[in-house]
Each structure stands twice: as structure tokens, then as C-alpha cells.
Amino acid sequence: MNTNKDKLVIFDTTLRDGEQSPGASMTKDEKIRIARMLERMRVDVIEAGFAIASQGDFEAVQAVAESVKDSRVCSLARAVGPDIIRAGEALKKANASRIHTFIATSPIHMKYKLQMEPEKVLEQAVAAVKHARQFTDDVEFSLEDGSRSEPEFMYRIIEAVIAAGAGTINIPDTVGYGEPEEYGAMFRRVIESVPNSDKAIFSTHCHNDLGLAVANSLSAVMNGVRQVECTINGLGERAGNASLEEIVMAVRTRQDLYPVETGIDTTHIVPTSRLVSSITGFPVQPNKAIVGANAFAHESGIHQDGVLKHRETYEIMRAEDVGWGQNRLVLGKHSGRAAVKARYEELGVTFDDPAEFQIIFQRFKDLADKKHEIFDEDLQSIVAGAEEPVEHYQLAALDVHSRSGTRPRALLQLMIDGKEVSAEADGSGPVDATFKAIESVVSSNADLKLYSVNAVTQGTDSQGSVTVRLERNGRLVNGVGADTDILVASAQAYLDALNLLASGEPKRQGV
């Protein structure tokens, strides 16, 4: 790292704020896998969850804290005693920990949400920071809806919580209302106006409602901020959060402009992006910066000619620097257990139970019989398919008849709690017929909100990854299925979503 530049702390909140994206649920094991990849990427702080939200969230934070050694592990906590105690308990075994406590400071939030007077809010914030310091020497304080807070009150509460022991001050653009010049200038004024501002690192956390999350974050960096809170693929509720890969690569590419450097190993960006996409069922759009399939593709003949003659004519980054081209696994049906297991370990996936790995290895063999080449994305989809909740519903067989001029019909056999049931239905298309056949015996009363198909890798023999989003009684879940047969993948995804709805403990946790 250039000693003339400041360190920009990368705070990843994929496991907490990213999970709040509707249906983007993650199990404890899935969170551990993502956390290990973030650690390998050398992310500075991993916000693992909101410990008090549920027992599941507590256990996930605890598990990440025990698994991660090189990154600091953080838990969110409201500025109240029970939240902070729960966060402290979850982080007890962390090699390095942080409690991130927050309270709303904008007039509209204090009046209508908290129903508290400003002085009481200030008092509670100070008490929360002092309480959190009993569990860790690293406390972050956030002013929720900070970008709409009154400046003088903001200065007072920041000065007070720094004095109480907060080492990081986050002023989030909670509702994505900020504009780059305005948002950056706010930080400049705060840093200049708060007497003890030099005793803390200032942080930004931007939402993307107006498509300005990355721009706002980078503007804040240019005005003194030295921590950026972000997520892989920009995952997050509503329009998402600032995208980690865009922040990191902007700083790296424009070293002539930004007075900071990160410690991120960028070669792990694409593999981590694919992992998060596989686990959450949220595909990356092809034209997404850095990690989209078209990010380094050149269709124009003029562009192609220029790149061939001199890469820098049309490429400002090297694809290999962010992990493109490193995701090929040259294994096939003759590959042995040791090679497959070793590659999984490189991807951050370990198997403590030999029986568990045997199931994964058999799925690998089954896929290798259908495909000539296996990619890392295929391996991720195999694991994702093996990490389903209690399987009330399983697909035993599927037979779909589709012919031009006739109405498609699906015949299938399901295992429902161990009992085989047959079903059939016709529909406007083969997928519609398949889903209607399932519903004819399940009667879930769920509404289909999203059906998405994406190729896992390249080629006509690629697995199709299908995401199905169902809603029932206000609860959203994403089911994921993958197979070289799109109809089989579709049925698997629909059943995966039904299993999530049927599970007693919601997979998605948070606030």
C-alpha cells in the first residue's frame, strides 16, 4: 500500500443489510461460506447480522465470529441494552469484534418513529456506546437517516458519542435521498465542526434508490470519509446498497484521483459475486459493472480492433485483476474425490462430515455425466442445492409434453413427507404446466412473484439456474434450482421455495 495514501476501510454488510433484500435469505452455513470468501478478499470488517433479531441470526453471527480470523466481525444493535448484550454474546469468540449501534437522529424519525425528544436520543446514544465498550474496544455509532438530520444536533451527538468511546461514526443515506455534491459536503462540514472528529473514522452507508449509492460514497471519501459500507453485487433492500466491487475498483483504477487505497485482494471479486448470486438467487445483470457477464465484452468492431492492438484503448481494468478467467475447473467424470474436495476448499467450502461430502461428490459425478466441463459456478450450485431446509417436498420424476399447436402438459411424481404422490396439469407453457401440477397436490396459496432463468456457465450444456420467488401472508422467499434441464430446475426451484415457506423458522432474518 502507498504510504502517502490513507487506508480506506471496507465494511461489508452483505450478510446483514444485503440479506434484507426481499427473499435474499441465507442459512447459517451459507453465511459462513460467504464470510470466508470475504475474509479471503481481505475485507476489513464483516457485518455478520443483527444478533437480537432472532435465534437464527444470533447463531449465524456467532458462527461467523468463530470461523473468521483475519477480518473483524461485527453485529448490528439498536441503542438499547438487550440488543447490545446479545451482540456482545454473539461476538464473544471473535478474533476481532465490533458492535455497530444506531439510533435515528432526523426530526421525522425522532418524532414519528422513536417518539422521543432530541435530548433523550442523545442521552440514549451515549449510554449505548458506553455499554457496548464493555464488550469490545471497537464500537461504531450510526446516525440513522443522518443525511436528513439537523446539522447542529448531528454535531452534538457525534461529539458526545466519540467522547463516550465510539471509534467509527457512520452517517448513512438511509433512504437513498442524497446527492453526491451535497452528501460529500455534509461530511466535510461535520468533520470541520465537531471538535473531536480527529478521534474517529467517519463512515458512509448509502442506499441506491436514485442510483447514486456509489457516487455518494465516493464523494464522501473525497471529503474525509475513511470507511465505506457496501455489499457484494450491491445487494440490499429496495434498490440495494453501494456495490463493493464498484467502490474498490473505482479507487484502484483512479489512483490519480482518490487519496486512499484499500487492502482488498481484487482477484476474489468475481468468485465472491458468483457465490452470493448462487446463494441468494439474485442473478447479476449482464451489464453490471465489474462482475456482469458483459463487463469486459466488446461487440463493436472498432472496439475489438482497438483492444487487440492495445488493451488500454478501451479497457481501463484487466479482467483477470477482478477474478475473470480464474473460475474454470478442468475436472470431469473421471476426477477423484481429492481433487474435487481440494477445489471446494479453495472456494471456502469445507466438509467436516464425510457423509455430507459423499452426497456432494455424487452430485458432482451426476453433473459431470451431463456436462463436459465443470466450472466453479457449477460447484457452488451443487452445494446450494444440497443446503435446502427440511424437505417436505421433493421431486421424484418429471415428464413434460410440449408440442406446437397443443397445450403443454406436465406429469410428475412428488415425495411429500416421504410419501409418493402423482400429479398432472396442463398450462400455457411447459413451466406453467409444471407449477400447476405441483400446486394441484400442494395447494400452497402462495403467489408467484418472480420467475428467472440464467445460465450458470457458458455453452449449450450449461446448467440453467432458476429462481422462483413466492409470497404468502406477506412473507417472501426465493427458491433456487439448477440443472441442465430447465424444466427440472424450475420444478426444483418451486419446491425449494415451498420448503422455505413450510419451514418453521423463517430463513430470512433481520429488520
* 84 vs 32: CA distance, rounded Å: 22
Q: Vertex 510, ends 220 and 34: CA angle to 5°?
A: 70
> Do 59 and 48 form a contact (C-beta atoms < 8 A)?
no
Torsion, Cα of 82, 87, 88, 93 (10° steps): 150
Residues in the chain: 511
* 366 vs 385: CA distance, rounded Å: 13
Helix then strand count (H, E) for the chain reads 16, 18
Q: What pTM does this model have?
A: 0.81
Which helix (H) or strand (E) element contains residue 228? strand 227-230
With cell 467424470, the residue in question is: 333
* 84 vs 497: CA distance, rounded Å: 33
Task: Please report the pLDDT score of residue 192 as a whole number.
Answer: 98
Dihedral class, residue 331 (left if φ above 0, else alpha if ψ from -120 to 50, else beta): beta
* 265 vs 290: CA distance, rounded Å: 14
The alpha-carbon radius of gyration of the chain (Å, integer) is 24
Nearest to 257 by CA among 222, 297, 220: 222
Neighbours of 192 (CB within 10 A): 11
* 355 vs 339: CA distance, rounded Å: 17
Task: Please report the pLDDT score of residue 482 as a whole number.
Answer: 83
C-alpha cell at 402: 410440449
> Three-state DSSP class for 44?
coil
47 DSSP β-pair partners: 74
Task: Please report the pLDDT score of residue 510 as a whole number.
Answer: 29
Per-residue pLDDT of the chain (511 residues), as tens digits, is: 566 899 999 999 999 998 888 777 788 988 999 999 999 999 999 999 999 999 999 999 999 999 999 999 999 999 999 999 999 999 999 999 999 999 999 999 999 899 999 999 999 999 999 999 999 999 999 999 887 889 999 999 999 999 999 999 999 998 898 999 999 999 999 999 999 999 999 999 999 999 999 999 999 999 999 999 999 999 998 999 999 999 999 999 999 999 999 999 999 999 899 889 888 878 888 889 999 878 776 443 444 344 344 445 446 788 888 887 654 445 666 778 888 888 888 777 888 788 888 888 888 888 777 766 677 767 877 776 665 455 789 999 999 999 998 999 999 999 998 899 999 999 999 999 999 999 999 999 999 998 988 776 666 556 778 889 899 988 888 888 888 899 999 999 999 889 888 875 443 332 2
Neighbours of 152 (CB within 10 A): 10
Strand order in the sheet with 447-455: 447-455, 464-472, 475-483
Question: How many angstroms separate the first and last alpha carbons of the chain?
Answer: 37
> Three-state DSSP class for 390?
coil
Task: Please report the pLDDT score of residue 305 as a whole number.
Answer: 47
Q: Which amino acid is at 368?
A: A
* Crossing angle of helices 81-90 and 118-132, rounded to 10°: 20
* 109 vs 102: CA distance, rounded Å: 13
Nearest to 9 by CA among 40, 34, 46, 36: 46
| Burial class for 444, CB neighbours closer than 10 Å (0-12, 13-18, 19+) | middle
**With the C-alpha atoms ordered 86, 90, 94, 97, is the resulting torsion angle positive or negative?**
negative
